[in-house]
Amino acid sequence: MKRFRILFSLFAAIVFIGGSVYAGKADDQPLEKLMQGNARYVSGHISKKESGGAYRKELAKGQHPFAVVVACSDSRVSPSIIFDEGLGNIFVVRTAGNIVDPIAVGSIEYGVEHLHAPLVMVLGHESCGAVTAAVESKSIPEGNIGEIVKKIMPAVKKAKASLKKGDNLIYASTIENVKDVAGEIVKKSKIISEEMHEGKVKVVGAYYSISTGKVEAVALK
């Protein structure tokens, strides 16, 4: 049984890597580690986490996350849980609709440049309320929530333009939004683009299914 779980974890990682298009040439190991953790989460074989006083004191000295995950604020989407990782392992940036502004991009830059995380993952998810609002809105709402909808609307337009019969518009818009956000991070961050060019970081896209627990690749190109 243990051997089966190991093989399942490795298979999940290989499927993700084979189906994704990344930016950058950094090592694949951080992504494999995330996907193996997700496979444990899906199977229910959660690993034991270090959380005692000695470990907390060690974390107080500094952090060394192996990945930056840009995720939605949705309460059902917690990167550390769905990737079965403990404290100190994932640097998480969360906003509604996993969109980014200068503050979010600066946070990502901190994770990459100062904490030396070699992976940035933009993670969209099933039943995203922000994407759903953008799909269903006939006009941009007023106020701060309207700013979120405005950021996602270009993704909705792209999804509508390429939508085929039987496709789900909210799902398609979520995928386009992941692509747009990943592109925006690279375009608006000189630090990220330089780190990519030097082979120090990869930027990848992913989609989390709330109903199944699985994380799957989103091709960025």
Q: What is the pLDDT of residues 118-174, one digit of tens each?
A: 999 999 999 999 999 999 998 888 899 999 999 999 999 999 999 998 899 999 999
What span, in angstroms and rounded, lies between the C-alpha atoms of 69 and 91? 6
Q: Is residue 192 part of a domain?
A: yes
pLDDT of residue 206: 98
pLDDT at 9 over 90: no
Q: Is residue 53 part of a domain?
A: no
Q: Is residue 76 part of a domain?
A: yes
pLDDT of residue 20: 47
> Which residues make Cβ contacts (< 8 Å) with residue 20, sequence separation at least 6?
204, 205, 206, 217, 218, 219, 220
Q: Is residue 52 part of a domain?
A: no
pLDDT at 22 over 50: no
Q: Is residue 30 part of a domain?
A: yes
β-strands 67-72, 90-95 pairing: parallel
pLDDT at 209 over 90: yes
Q: What's the pLDDT band for 27 if we cut at 50, 70, 90?
A: confident
* Residue 92 phi, psi (nearest 5): -105, 130
pLDDT at 4 over 80: no
Q: Is residue 54 part of a domain?
A: no
In this prediction, residues 100-126 reach a mean pLDDT of 98
* Number of domains composing the chain: 1
- Across the chain, what does the average pLDDT equal? 90
Location of structure tokens 């993952």: 121
User: Is the pLDDT higher at 8 or at 28?
Assistant: 28
Q: Identify the CATH number of the domain in which residue 139 sits.
A: 3.40.1050.10
Q: What is the percentage of the chain residues whose pLDDT exceeds 90?
A: 81
CB 136 within 8 A of CB 149: no
Q: Where are the alpha helices (DSSP H) in 46-168?
A: 53-60, 79-82, 102-109, 129-136, 143-162
User: Is the pLDDT higher at 39 or at 165?
Assistant: 39
Amino acid identity of 99?
I
Q: Is residue 89 part of a domain?
A: yes
Q: Which one-letter DSSP state was computed for residue 100?
A: -
Q: What's the pLDDT band for 104 if we cut at 50, 70, 90?
A: very high
Which residue, 119, 39, 49, 45, is CA-closest to 83? 39
Distance of CA 144 to the CA centre of its chain: 23
> Residue 117 is part of which domain span?
2-47+59-218
pLDDT of residue 54: 92
pLDDT of residue 15: 44
CB 1 within 8 A of CB 9: no
pLDDT at 13 over 60: no
pLDDT in tens, 171-192: 999 999 999 999 999 999 999 9
Q: Which one-letter DSSP state was computed for residue 110?
A: I
Q: Is residue 108 part of a domain?
A: yes
pLDDT of residue 140: 87
pLDDT of residue 25: 60
